[in-house]
Amino acid sequence: MINRLPEWLRQPLPVRSSQDFSGTLSELRVNTVCREAACPNTGVCFSRRQLSFLILGRRCTRRCAFCDIALRPAEREPQDRLEPGRVAAAVSRLGIKYAVITSVTRDDLPDGGASVFAAAVRNLRESASGTRVELLIPDFGRSFAALDLVLEQKPEVIGHNIETVPALFKRVKPGSDPGFSLALFRRIKTRQPGILTKSSLMLGMGEKTPEVLDALRLLKDNGCDMVTLGQYIAPSGAAFPVAEFVVPERFRALEDAAREIGFKAVFSGPLVRSSFMAETLFKEAGGA
């Protein structure tokens, strides 16, 4: 495992405005994946008043090898029915015009939490008129019926991250199915072709360049419009080991390749994460 970060992965300390942002979130009891997943861009994004809301609690029912979010106990935790309203209140108070909402995986819930995503979009439409909504969803227990609950609300963007190449999937994302993830994109485009779709890959886990290109082609062929590529950084010593720190030049080459494959928008770089500069990518893809 490689531990020392190269120069291009080092970030400045958060500026003061990020602390003010955090105070508002704490007051409203709203979580962000920025904090819970130890994102390296938290200080930069918060200073720009950009963030990704985390709903459905702070503990996950799956144990992906790359993730720093805590594992949920076996017993079911009651859903917080007021959470979608608090997220909408935070968006309105902070003046956010492009809201990104994601969640932990909740295999303990009958619909995987899809109804809470749907409620979050409805609340935003009612209290933050004009705000664009991007959802980064789990697979909802591999249920198309659950996915359809979300599609009915017509968010501008739905993202679903495959995270890695098929050869590493079982080690990196145990409990998930890459075949269903691809089918999920097809379902979105069949039911709501106007919704933009998005996915993300992490590099530096031992994948080969031809495998990355094959994964990108699979995503595009199954209805994915936008893609991001970033460096995997292990959140702890117990996490999946970093095999390499990919140089910026390779990220640029893969961005060019992804554009040639036909994605509407691509964001590729060492510190890129799936929701980083999300509104910029949305506009590049033709969103309005």
**What is the reported pTM?**
0.90
> Highest-confidence range of 26-35, 52-61, 62-71, 226-235, by mean pLDDT?
226-235
Q: Could you tell me the CA-to-CA distances from 262 to 86, 226, 252 in Å, in that order?
A: 38, 9, 16
Q: What is the pLDDT of residue 237?
A: 78
pLDDT digits over 67-121, tens only? 766 665 545 666 788 999 999 999 999 889 999 999 988 888 899 999 999 999 9
Q: What is the mean pLDDT of the chain?
A: 87
Nearest partner of 97 among 156, 153, 149, 54, judged by Cα: 156
52, 136 Cβ separation under 8 angstroms: yes
CA pair distance 180, 283, nearest whole angstrom: 28
Q: Is 117 exposed, middle or buried (0-12, 13-18, 19+ CB in 10 A)?
A: buried
pLDDT digits over 117-172, tens only? 999 999 999 988 889 999 999 999 999 999 999 999 999 999 999 999 999 988 88
DSSP assigned state of 163: B
Which domains are assigned to the chain?
7-284 (3.20.20.70)
Q: What is the pLDDT of residue 214?
A: 98
Mean pLDDT in residue range 169-198: 93
Q: What is the pLDDT of residue 167?
A: 92
Q: What is the pLDDT of residue 69?
A: 65
For residue 225, is pLDDT > 90?
Answer: yes
For residue 42, is pLDDT > 70?
Answer: no
Q: Which amino acid is at 261?
A: I
Q: Burial letters for 215-252: b for 16+ Cβ neighbours within 10 Å, e otherwise?
A: bbebbbebbbbbbbbbbbbbbeeebbebeebbeeebbe
Residue ranges with strand state E in 72-231:
98-103, 132-136, 157-159, 196-203, 226-231
For residue 223, is pLDDT > 70?
Answer: yes
pLDDT digits over 163-182, tens only? 999 999 888 888 788 999 99
Q: Who has greater pLDDT, 171 or 206?
A: 206
> Judging by DSSP bridges, how do beta strands 52-55 and 31-32 pair with one another?
antiparallel
For residue 32, is pLDDT > 90?
Answer: no
Q: Who has greater pLDDT, 150 or 2?
A: 150
Q: Who has greater pLDDT, 143 or 64?
A: 143
Residue 245 pLDDT class (50, 70, 90 cuts) = very high
| pLDDT above 70: percentage of residues in the chain | 85
For residue 18, is pLDDT > 90?
Answer: no
Q: Could you tell me the CA-to-CA distances from 51 to 213, 234, 244, 252 in Å, in that order?
A: 29, 21, 28, 25
